[in-house]
Chains A and B, each alone.
Chain A
Amino acid sequence: MFVVCDCLLQVITICFAVGTIFIPIGLFSLQVSQSVLEIVDRYDVECVPPSFRSNKLEYIKDSSIPKNCSRYLQVNKHMKAPIYIYYQLDNYYQNHRRYVKSRSDKQLLYGLKYNYTGSCSPEDANNGLPIVPCGLIAWSLFNDTYSFFHGADALKVNRKNIAWESDRNHKFGKHVYPFNFQNGSLIGGALLDPAIPLSDQEDLIVWMRTAALPSFHKLYGRIEEDLHADEILEVKILNNYNTYSFGGRKKLVLSTSSWLGGHNNFIGIAYISIGSSFIFIALVFMLLHVKNPRPYGDTTNISWTWTGISS
């Protein structure tokens, strides 16, 4: 970089070059990200009946209380299909060491044929029988459900193809069926239909790709028709999942998509700021050079008294 011919010019050129490449990329991706529309609705508090607001834990643990809840979402701008439905959990440590390791990929692929499931402890076996799928991750599967209504018409929600194809094809067995699942005294989350093989249980597959941060989105499904501006959507939620004991938040996110993914300004802003920093530095260098030029091989900067080159 500075090596071959260390000219200030080279540094300035590099700075300008990076700046001129980065700023357009940044502007472009920012614009793409801005074009993505998002509706976010936090429902974990609102869905608790007012009488239970002071003791949400009792509400969520009491299975006799119905967990139905309706939310109304206003569509501000026209949203083009497909519209993705995400649920977002905050303060939920899917990346905790105890949680991450509590699974058995071999069992997910081979089912009961694979016996060694020590890593799944404490959810590896119940009543002497192995659990499929074993482990804390599967046990705590998210079980809120959403259904969308447009006035009285139900909106069709496509819940197929929400997991990565590689997970479905390579990590979850096509002939592995849930077994002895959620039969214990403690029920962590959703139940699984024992008649459907794991490779088709896409909610489970999505859930089991553990998130990197304690605040994360997971894909729930797709609405495959446009939503028009100023429409009101009714969402009927079954608010089953307990986030109240640890103060986690639950949100429902509706989002369109772009070729760069969902709504995230970060990349665009980062590109723009890095690019403009480079431009700025280039200007500073130029200014400093004009005010305080240093010729190449300027011997006044050398630390010893220069006496010329003696042969």
Chain B
Amino acid sequence: MMNSMKIPSKRSTLEKKLDKLILALFSVLFCMCLLGAIGSGIFINRKYYYLRFDSSEKQFDPDNRFVVAVLTMFTLITLYSPIIPISLYVSVEMIKFIQSTQFINNDLCMYHAESSTPALARTSNLNEELGQVEYIFSDKTGTLTRNLMEFFKCSIGGEVYGTGVSEIEMGTAQRSGGKIEVQKATNAALEKGFNFDDARLMRGAWRNEPNPDFCKEFFRCLAICHTVLPEGDDSPEKIRYQAASPDEAALVTAAKNFGFFFYKRSPTTIYVRESHVEKMGKVQDVPYEILNVLEFNSTRKRQSVVCCYPDGRLVLYCKGADSVIYERLADGNNDLKRTTREHLEQFGAAGLRTLCLAYRDLSSDSYENWNEKYIQAKSSLRDREKKLDEVAELIEKDLVLIGCTAIEDKLQEGVPACIETLSRAGIKIWVLTGDKLETAINIAYACKLISNNMKQFIISSETDAIREVEDRGDQVELARFMKETVKNELKRCHEEVQQYLCSASGPKLALVIDGKCLMYALDPSLRVMLLNMSLYCSSVVCCRVSPLQKAQVTSLVRKGAQRITLSIGDGANDVSMIQAAHVGVGISGQEGMQAVMASDFAIAQFRFLTDLLLVHGRWSYARICKVVTYFFYKNLTFTLTQFWFTFSTGFSGQRFYDDWFQSLFNVIFTALPVIIIGLFDKDVNAALSKKYPELYKEGIRNTFFKWRVVAAWAFFAIYQSLIFYYFVIASSTSGMNSSGKMFGLWDVSTMAFTCVVVTVNFRLLMMCNTITRWHHISVGGSILAWFIFVFIYSGVVLPKEQENIYFVIYVLMSTLYFYVTLLLVPVAALFCDFVYLGFQRWFFPYDYQIVQEIHRHEPDNSRIGLLEIGNDNLSPDEARSYAIMQLPGQKSKHTGFAFDSPGYESFFASQAGVYVPQKAWDVARRASMRTRPKTPKN
């Protein structure tokens, strides 16, 4: 709980920039109003006798020009208010909601069939943020790795057992160039948690080993010293172990396989079915009375059990981290200690998690003595934990080392490929882990985060100099010394980095730092140097870090470097990091729900990040940018025509458009197409997005929502509004048809409004990457909606005093002028945009446009192909959705989102009259939402 923080409410960076844009629009609005107000103050004059300016109405009182200006200011504010796109927020929310619920949650590519877990967007705020992530902070266990612990190797009495080769060893071998024969055991992973094969130990063969007694103690220690609960039948095949951590379950499973089958637990007794102990083939049930359990916690880093054999022998079994066990060993037998230490290092280098096992025989006298103290401590009311720890120290000493275990925590499927893809996309990945330095580096190698041709900087607290100071025991001295060391190290590394940067093609850089050093490096005086240096590194590994430090590192980059960060983790210890980053991603499935509950997005596997970021994130970013800039453009254009009109009305604030036109412009006539673009626009399809991860860099650089882009839109808005206003006005000054009749204000304004609606809708088509029939329907529908509206509106008598628009459209459409202008004005208005887009595309193309060109002849069926490959292992539900995707009539000429988002197929299917059943994962998700019991993690 000390590591928990207030839950932040997250808004995307794009939205924050949007706020600035709105603010800019407000100031533009203010300037426009001010200009108009000043103009009205100057204009007002009694000489316009037909306007009857007098003091009866304050706004038109020529004797008090200041009041006139102030009141006109308010009139103008309401008149120009459409410049603020209020409906933008609503539309964007809607788009994002559909994006997350329909596209992200239902993407088959992010559906983990084994655990039946789909991706889950827990917030719809941050979709576009996914398209701009530059830094990923990842937990190791359960995120990069599977958190499926398998007993892999062991060392007993100085002898290594276990023939397997870990994935990381394979990776190491590959990078050193030598090829190793992978003698993959045919029956690898005999069962969950046990992937061990060595004939010397199995089926009682251990009796013939040099140290059978050590082996016996080793197995008993595994079978007795734990807090596991057995569940189900007490036969080796059917039993299931309920353990606090998967490591423990793996160890007990291992004991079972070695012939020490723990099958029953009573409050005071553990029953073990032992084979081959007395002689080969003999099986006996042995009850061990458990006298005390000294539980595991993160400060003790060990766990002990005092048990009494049926023959009265008293033994303390202890297992724990190597450092704490070695401190408590009895003197002597240094050879064994040394060889075991070597084995520990060897296992660590192979990326395995190690535990040391030890035991101690107790005399009944000394035990009774100790037990009294223990009972006292246990019944004390204050500081019980601390006292228990102290008492435990008294008995956990003079231990006899038995050996050590090595458990493999396998990398998740596809992690190295995913990391490589992400780094090609310009994303830098930092691993923050609680593991040891060696393990962390090895995992980093295995994930291709670090490679041999990278320059590595290692800042570690495990140096001889620091250990020496540590041994002296003076904490103040230690802190001072550590700080000094870290500072010097950082300085040295920083200088080296500068040198590498100066040379043109320096190697890529990697930084490895451990928790203790990080504590000092995060000090405000060194923080800047740490940040500068780590930003130059393409990968950073922080090991032995606490949850709080994970969050600190995240906010260091977030706040210090102003880059967009993403944290991904699976456990309770990642919660603060997930909350500290711009985007938090939780791995759902393996370990508890805390991370998922704190996250913004939940995925089942690390490799789904590729889809989440490169496909959904990138699309969402591009789409939202388009929606925002388009809204900005259309509202600015619309309001500016109004603004130009103000100049020729004596700054009186007369409306150019009818009230209803103005209100419905955003709501009906231009609303739907922009939502369609926010949902379906797709520059390149999902497969190409992943094939060319570099396209993602456009999001990191914020290419589509820079001030420059906004300025270009503003320029076109001004140009178009001038065209709308002056073209329509200038062409309406003479008689309008052969009968010589003239147009009035409302005829002209309706003409201009028609041009605006048509142009703005066509401009949207010009910015689409894909034009599907939904675009045609929505754009055509919007224009049609305008005509239908105006036909009805000008055809009926409303209970208003002024019927400005009454019959106007019929008069307009009876003249040829209407059609000539309707052709001229939109084309003239779009001329600049057309030329700009043409030049941009041809001479300064965006990356995605080139990729479009490369693949322009390929039909957009890549996704279907992907599905076919894995067709044989599709679940019935997937098969069904696949079948629905293949429905006739939907495939033809439609290039929209339909094939990329399985969630959308139900929509199209319902269009085709096909019933789509509820998906299995909907149910699964609901089930998984229930909070699982908290499982502590080392």
Residues on A close to B: CB < 8 A? Answer: 1-6, 8, 11, 14, 18, 22, 25, 29, 82, 84, 86, 92-101, 103-106, 116, 119, 121-123, 136, 139-140, 161-164, 166-167, 170-171, 188-189, 206, 209-219, 222, 242, 245-247, 255, 257-264, 266-267, 270-271, 274, 277-278, 281, 285, 288-289, 292, 294, 296-299, 301-304, 309
B330 within 8 A of A: no
Query: Is the beta-carbon distance between A3 and B731 smaller than 8 angstroms?
Result: no
A24 CB to nearest B CB, Å = 13
- B852-895 interface mask toward A, CB cutoff 8 Å, 1 = contact, 0 = none? 11111000000000000000000000000000000000000000
Task: Name A5's closest neighbour in chain B (CB-CB).
Answer: B856
Complex formed: what's the CA distance from A271 to B827 in Å?
10
Given contacts A95-B648, A246-B49, A260-B817, whether A222 and B841 have CB atoms under 8 Å apart is no
Query: Is the beta-carbon distance between A262 and B734 smaller than 8 angstroms?
Result: yes
Complex formed: what's the CA distance from A93 to B838 in Å?
43
Can you name 9 extra interface pairs (CB under 8 A) apart from A95-B654, A162-B740, A261-B740? A6-B853, A97-B653, A98-B60, A119-B802, A122-B56, A217-B733, A257-B738, A257-B740, A297-B856
B845 within 8 A of A: yes
- B633-674 interface mask toward A, CB cutoff 8 Å, 1 = contact, 0 = none? 000000000000000111011110000000000000000000
8 A–B contacts, CB within 8 A, in A order:
A11-B834, A98-B60, A106-B801, A116-B801, A257-B739, A261-B737, A298-B850, A301-B850
Q: Which residues of A contact B732 (CB under 8 A)?
A: 212
Query: Is the beta-carbon distance between B802 and A101 smaller than 8 angstroms?
Result: yes
B612 within 8 A of A: no
Of A140, A213, A278, which one neighbours B729 at CB under 8 angstroms?
A213
Of A6, A121, A270, which one neighbours B731 at CB under 8 angstroms?
A270
Complex formed: what's the CA distance from A271 to B823 in Å?
9
Task: Name B837's closest neighbour in chain A (CB-CB).
Answer: A2
Complex interface: stretch among B274-282, B486-494, B572-580, B743-751: B743-751
B914 within 8 A of A: no
Complex formed: what's the CA distance from A212 to B742 in Å?
11
Q: Nearest 10 CB-CB pairs, A to B?
A: A262-B734, A262-B735, A297-B854, A209-B744, A84-B740, A97-B652, A140-B50, A297-B853, A264-B734, A166-B807
A248 CB to nearest B CB, Å = 9
Query: Is the beta-carbon distance between B806 and A171 smaller than 8 angstroms?
Result: yes
B3 within 8 A of A: no
Complex formed: what's the CA distance from A297 to B849 in Å?
8
Query: Is the beta-carbon distance between A170 and B802 smaller than 8 angstroms?
Result: no
Complex formed: what's the CA distance from A261 to B816 in Å?
9
Q: Which residues of A contact B173 (CB under 8 A)?
A: none
Task: Name B815's closest neighbour in chain A (CB-CB).
Answer: A261
Query: Is the beta-carbon distance between A212 and B835 smaller than 8 angstroms?
Result: no
Given contacts A3-B770, A6-B853, whether A271 and B843 have CB atoms under 8 Å apart is no
A180 CB to nearest B CB, Å = 18
B769 within 8 A of A: yes
Query: Is the beta-carbon distance between A217 and B650 smaller than 8 angstroms?
Result: no
Complex formed: what's the CA distance from A63 to B75 in Å?
40
Residues on B close to A: CB < 8 A? Answer: 45, 47-54, 56-57, 60, 75, 648-650, 652-655, 691, 694, 697, 727, 729-745, 747-749, 765-766, 768-771, 800-803, 806-807, 810-811, 815-817, 820-821, 823-824, 827-828, 831, 834-835, 837-838, 841-843, 845, 847, 849-856
Task: Name B701's closest neighbour in chain A (CB-CB).
Answer: A303
Q: Which residues of A contact B771 (CB under 8 A)?
A: 3-4
Of A97, A219, A294, which one neighbours B741 at CB under 8 angstroms?
A219
Query: Is the beta-carbon distance between B744 and A263 smaller than 8 angstroms?
Result: no
Query: Is the beta-carbon distance between A246 and B47 smaller than 8 angstroms?
Result: yes
Query: Is the beta-carbon distance between A294 and B843 smaller than 8 angstroms?
Result: yes
Complex formed: what's the CA distance from A11 to B738 in Å?
38
Task: Name A188's closest neighbour in chain B (CB-CB).
Answer: B50
Query: Is the beta-carbon distance between B828 and A285 smaller than 8 angstroms?
Result: no
B4 CB to nearest A CB, Å = 41
Complex formed: what's the CA distance from A5 to B849 in Å?
11
Of B648, B770, B835, which one neighbours A281 at CB under 8 angstroms?
B835
Query: Is the beta-carbon distance between B801 and A274 smaller than 8 angstroms?
Result: no
Complex formed: what's the CA distance from A98 to B727 in Å?
26
Query: Is the beta-carbon distance between B827 and A18 smaller than 8 angstroms?
Result: yes
Complex formed: what's the CA distance from A261 to B740 in Å?
6
